[in-house]
Chain A
């Protein structure tokens, strides 16, 4: 079977490459899709649930968290559905034992890599990561916790970043670059020592590029980015601006 295309490999020139329609199967259900829609998009259109963490409607896809992995028949590797395009007659499984097992492992590894203490977190009860644990039936982490040492940067007058709670979804990096156009956020280091940074790893409060818009805080799935002055469970994220901005931009 031919390797499925990733989102960034598709042609954006609809005039020279008119969008094809194709049919394929998700969980034994026949579905139809435009050739430039991801498996995740098509699944959601058809009411098939696939858990996601780094995906956010209105931002580019990144494929960072790997929670949306699905099994494609004939492929040995599991594919991230948010950045994989369907092919004609492809058979996709979203809930096979193998997929569920790996998703659960990925989620547990995310919890074990940082210090997620829900009971004292500003986002307790409004957190995407916490909700995923419930949704996926994760009652404990089978891996030994790493308990890394991570700092808190509270130099910004209105916001703070607590790296203990960061899951490296990079929503902050994307929203700052793609929507606000400031590109204050970026990533340094690699693998498990990766860390989101402001400017060239300068304190957030001293950033010359940050506009203080707070979009990063609102899209952050956990309590890593929060507004100052919020106590436990008080940081409710407001994300309505994103579909609104997206809609206004697409208006001719």
Chain B
């Protein structure tokens, strides 16, 4: 393949574990380097999500008003959107708060479990949505890569297939949970 694949990664409500699994590609990332360009993500020093991204890996659930805005912008600017890991695919652990009211979740996190200066944050933090939800409940998703985190081999397979111009079929290659 002659064209260089422009890849972006990002995380919404997630723990960065999927990115760690991505980094576990180790020297295989170096092998891939001539064929890919990392244009945005926590591993790249770019402040703004660029236009015309070929593949974006999105880790994490959509849990705040900011996530909602971000995922719509990312969808507009990405050719292929990959739901990267269980939080993006199922809401997973961030979704465990969904059984409770946001008010109670905030109270639990910032007041009851705080040892000093218990105070609800009012500036600099986005508002929580009523529920943390999977990415595909907000925008269309092209590839689903489940796993907590997705196994490195499955990530390698996904990127290799996309490099070869194919849509990866992840049936049986990754599972929810580990």
Contacts and interface: CB of A to CB of B under 8 A. Distances in A.
Interface of A: 111, 115-121, 124-125, 127, 130, 133-135, 137, 139-142, 144-145, 147-150, 233
A142 B171 CA distance: 15
Given A124-B177, A147-B99, A139 B89 contact: yes
A145 B93 contact: no
B92 to A, nearest CB: 6
A130 B134 contact: no
Nearest to B137: A144
B172 A137 contact: yes
Interface size grouping (class) on chain B: 20 to 34
A119 B92 contact: yes
Interface in B50-90: 83, 86, 89-90
Given A139-B89, A140-B146, A145-B95, A119 B177 contact: yes
A119 B89 CA distance: 13
Contacts of A125: 177-178
Contacts of B145: 139
B136 A140 contact: yes
Interface of B: 83, 86, 89-93, 95-96, 98-99, 131, 133-134, 136-137, 141, 144-146, 148, 170-172, 174-178
Contacts of B175: 118, 130, 133-134
Given A115-B96, A124-B177, A145-B133, 9 more contacts: A111-B90, A116-B90, A125-B178, A133-B175, A139-B144, A140-B90, A145-B90, A147-B131, A148-B99
A140 B96 contact: no
Given A130-B175, A141-B90, A117 B96 contact: yes
A133 B176 CA distance: 8
A124 B131 CA distance: 24
A222 to B, nearest CB: 11
Q: What 9 A-B pairs have minimum CB-CB distances, sorted nearest first?
A: A118-B177, A137-B171, A119-B148, A147-B98, A139-B144, A118-B176, A140-B144, A124-B177, A149-B99
A126 to B, nearest CB: 10
Contacts of B177: 118-119, 121, 124-125, 127, 130, 233
B93 A120 contact: yes
Considering residues A119, A121, A141, A233, which has the most beta carbons from chain B within 10 angstroms of its beta carbon?
A119
Given A145-B91, A145-B95, A147-B95, A118 B174 contact: no
Contacts of B136: 140, 142
Given A119-B93, A233-B178, A139 B170 contact: yes
A137 B144 CA distance: 11
A233 B133 CA distance: 24
Contacts of B133: 144-145
A37 to B, nearest CB: 31
11 contacts: A117-B95, A118-B175, A121-B177, A137-B171, A139-B89, A139-B146, A141-B134, A142-B136, A145-B98, A150-B99, A233-B178
Contacts of B93: 117, 119-120
Nearest to B147: A119
A124 B134 CA distance: 20
